A and B are shown apart, each in its own frame.
Chain A
Amino acid sequence: MERVSAGTKLTVLVLFAPFILWMLLLVILPHIDLLTISLRERVAPRVYEFSFKNYMEFFVEPLYWRTFARTAIMSILATVLTLIIGFPISYYIAKIARGRLKSSLFLLCMLPFWVSELVRTFGWMILLRESGIISGVLQWLGLADGPVEMLYNDAAIMVGLVYTSMLFMVVPLVSTLDSLDDGLIEAAYDLGGSTIAILREIVIPHAMPGIVSGCIVVFMLTLGNYLTPTLLGGKDSLWFTEQIYNQFITRFNWEQGSAFGFLLLLLSSAIIWTGLRLTRQRLQDTIK
């Protein structure tokens, strides 16, 4: 066993210090604080007692767990759609496009992320609103009699979420597909594999780490998204993060907000764990 000198140890410590500090100050300490806040109940002005009431509230009041269920289901759907749309794009970028085309396509995927999420979402609102561009074009083409409202519904939320998430799916997919030896595809083809069989047995199993990491990132981002569902969904958006925001900001109910925050963390982790079990993947494999 090689002996680690004191100098090396110090270097490692210095290099990791910002990360450790970041974790401690912005992740661990606030979470401990949130946990303690979530476990108390207001009994009178400025008087609090230890209680699980805030957590019970989530299960007792159908509104809250239904909102969570809806958020989770929409997020899963958005993740699946992002995967379905992102996979062919990634495959094209990684395996078919060459040279400049490849880099420009990749750039094209990243371009929307050079503007803020707010601007991107407003872009969609300009397109989809009743007095917006798509509605105008449809009327001009004679395909619609009057203004068409495409905003403020679940489909609009979905479009916005998929659009916002695309990059986070495409990047890991392109990098795993890039590492797939073309020879494997040719060999499978040569041995009698059809396109679909090759996709199922060679390409997808190889891309699995990328698929898993892409899906986890997209799912978590979507679940935690606040702007897109609120702005595009309008009166029916109903997103769980919105509930948390409301509890903190407009209800001054930090206790409830903290509890919801913790429930979001636990339940989303549970969903990812279940997803990994169902697809027989391990988290460790995704960082290979």
Chain B
Amino acid sequence: MIALLLPALAVVVTLLLALGLASVAAGPGRQGRLASRGSLLLCALGGLLAVVQLLSGAEASSLSLGIGLPGLPLHLALDGLSAAFMLLLMLTGAAAAAAALDDHGQYDSTAPFFPVFLGGMALTLLAADGFALVLGFEVMSLASFALVLTNHRDAEVRAAALLYIGMAGLGAMCLIPCMALLAVGADFTFAAMRTHPPEGWRALAVLVLVLVGAGSKAGLAPLHVWLPPAHAAAPGHVSALMSGAMTKIALYVLIRVLFDLCGPAQPMGWGAPLVLLGALGAVLGGLRANMEGDVKTVLASSTVEHIGLIAIGLGFALAARAADLPGLATLAFGGALLHALAHGMFKALLFLAAGATQHAAGTRRLDRLGGLIHGMPKTTALVLVGAAGLAALPPSAGFAGEWTLFQAVLAAPRLGGLGWQVLACVAAALMALAAALAASAAVRLIGVAYLGRPRTPRAAAATDPGQPMLAALAGLAGASLLVGLFPGAALRLLGPAVQQAVGTGVVGHVGWLTISPQADTAGYTAPALAVVLGLAGGLVYFIVRRWTVSGERRGPAWDCGFGDPPNWLPFGDPVTQYGGASFAQPLRRALATSLMQARETVDMPLPGETRPAHMKVRLRDPADQYLFALIGSWRSRVSHFADFMQFLTIRSTLAVMFCALLILMAAVAALEQL
């Protein structure tokens, strides 16, 4: 029975890929429905198989298919690590497929790519040789590129997709040589790579290449610039899948290469770049999430932040494993994995809700939303569950993951050496800052978009989405709550993955109800905390109800201290509410002035002019400014040079050839003299 799990999952992958073709054959009008329904069914099946694999102890099994390049048959394998990520992928995929059923026909044109996207990700997880891994990874990149282009008539969408495919190309350019460096002769199987871990410069090259190749896809700073625009450009269910699952698949590749294929004998220093880049991304992403004015860009920036937190955990796990501190390694890796799972749930939930909001209110801009809680009460309730995870409020899923990560980072000075101690302190401080920024971003998102009064008529007329979307949101919220209330159980479920990556299991640290930083001591007991918080909340509710007058009445909303409203707006102009930009201003002035080069310019009309005053804010991502602008200027220099060479005069062209000939001959002559 257990031996059949891998073939069954392989069949699921094949069916997902075939479903793409089948839905093309179904023709326009019907392809969206077919792709979504089929994906939903297959994802549910795949998720079930992954759970069975994890529960049954995750015995590793492998399979060699007869197909592939000549002499290079595809190898598949299923073990604890891939099963853990498969579970996450299939859960998110099922929710996204259910949400896509509520699509109103607008995603029909690119619907066939949806199951292919899922199939590519699943193939990456099942891959047991370099070729299959790269194949799955690239299918995933290309299919998601097509999905991002769904609304291709919008120039912004096209620009975002172009940036995205460019970064995917960079990833491929790094990932393929990385696999070639790991390969043993012409043997690309992971089993052979494990027996010959890389050493010396090859090991360093593998580290750099996988950090760029997989890190760029995961959204690891400073290669995260594609992430906010691409997530904003894609339809809701696609960005949910990209943020919830695709970034995790990239992290899986990172883990597979760094923890598994490179062997346990690598130096401690390997963890440092992950910690540094993670801390950088966490703060930058958190700050950007407070500044952006588009709901999905806010969520995508927050993805950068959470990926940064997970990367910090992975970095410390790598260092602790090298330093032979199994307890710390388990804690750090377990925290990273738990947070990846939690983030996959609540961020997918928030992206789906953002898609529903965009459909209902006609916009994603914070300064045109507001008051959605009146028209979309069910959605708002579910979004609150996700936002609690985003803000890491106990007992949400986000809190469990971040708490475990914090425990690991606070124990990290045990790694020894001044360098690691300083690094751990800096990482802890930046993580705390990032967590606070995330909480602020969540409050801003809920407060501006869902509370208050509608800023536009369209926002006032928003209604809850259809049944499939609500079911997807409720499913993700339920899973997220379960992970939050029983993080111990979730981590036990993921235990085989931790065991495989760092060599020790989670059993000493994790009970079914608690997670402890040190074996067999007190720790975080989420259900107890939930009961206490519930009791306190109930008490407050009781007191409030007991001591206040019954019945409800609605008064005028506070208008931010503005003067008397005009007659045609008896409750004041909703646009004068405290908005997203107002909320961001203190943080922008305190932090972003130096970190993101935030500059404000006020355009004040002259006396007598009738136009309104404007305040413009300009923000720049440092990665954009220092890394990509620099690369862009090099690129244009190279192309200018090529241009110059192309338009040389006849005599100059001859002279160039003549000089090249002379240099060549001089080199030959010099070599002969030696």
Do A and B pair up? The answer is no
